[in-house]
Amino acid sequence: NDMESNLFVYGSLRPGEEAENLLGDYKIIEKNKKIIGYRMFVLENYPIAVLDPNGSIWGDVLKVNDNVFPNLDKYEETEKNIY
Q: Residue 78: phi, psi to the nearest 5? A: -130, 175
| pLDDT of res. 1 | 60
13: which residues sit within 8 A by CB, 6+ positions away? 19, 20, 22, 23, 72
| Global pTM value | 0.84
Over residues 14-70, the pLDDT tens digits come to 999 999 999 999 999 999 999 999 999 888 887 888 999 999 999 999 999 999 999
